[in-house]
C-alpha cells in the first residue's frame, strides 16, 4: 500500500469511527431521563422487538436526539462554510460581525 492510498483511507476510517461513536452515544442518551431505560431495551425497542417503552422512546427521546444531531450538523456546516468563504481555518463569527448582530 503506497502513501497516497493510506492518506485516502484515513478520512473514511475517521468518519466511520465517529459515526459508530455517534450511534453508541445516541442509544445511551435515549436511555437517560426521568425514567432510565437500559441501552439493550432501547435497541430492542428501536428494532421493533419490544414495545414496553415505545411511547417514551418514539415520542419524546428519539425526536430530541435527532434534532440535536441535526442542529450540531447544521452548526458544523455553517462553521465550515464560514471558514471556506473567508479562507481562514481559524475564522470565527466575530470576523464578519455575526456575533455583534446576534447580541
pLDDT at 86: 82
Share of the chain above pLDDT 70, in %: 83
pLDDT at 6: 64
pLDDT digits (tens, 9 = 90+) for 51-79: 999 999 999 999 999 999 999 999 999 88
Cell of 16: 466511520
pTM of the model: 0.76
What is the rounded CA–CA span in Å between residue 43 and residue 45? 5
Which tens digits make up the pLDDT trace of 35-55? 999 999 999 999 999 899 999
Residues found in the chain:
103
**Among 84, 82, 75, residue whose Cα is nearest residue 97:** 82
Amino acid at each position: 500500500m503506497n502513501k497516497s492510498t493510506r492518506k485516502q483511507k484515513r478520512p473514511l476510517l475517521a468518519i466511520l469511527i465517529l459515526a459508530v461513536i455517534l450511534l453508541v452515544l445516541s442509544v445511551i442518551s435515549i436511555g437517560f431521563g426521568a425514567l432510565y431505560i437500559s441501552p439493550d431495551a432501547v435497541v430492542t425497542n428501536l428494532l421493533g422487538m419490544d414495545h414496553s417503552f415505545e411511547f417514551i422512546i418514539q415520542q419524546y427521546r428519539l425526536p430530541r436526539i435527532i434534532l440535536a444531531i441535526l442542529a450540531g450538523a447544521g452548526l458544523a456546516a455553517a462553521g465550515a462554510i464560514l471558514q471556506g468563504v473567508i479562507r481562514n481555518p481559524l475564522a470565527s463569527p466575530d470576523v464578519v460581525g455575526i456575533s455583534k448582530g446576534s447580541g
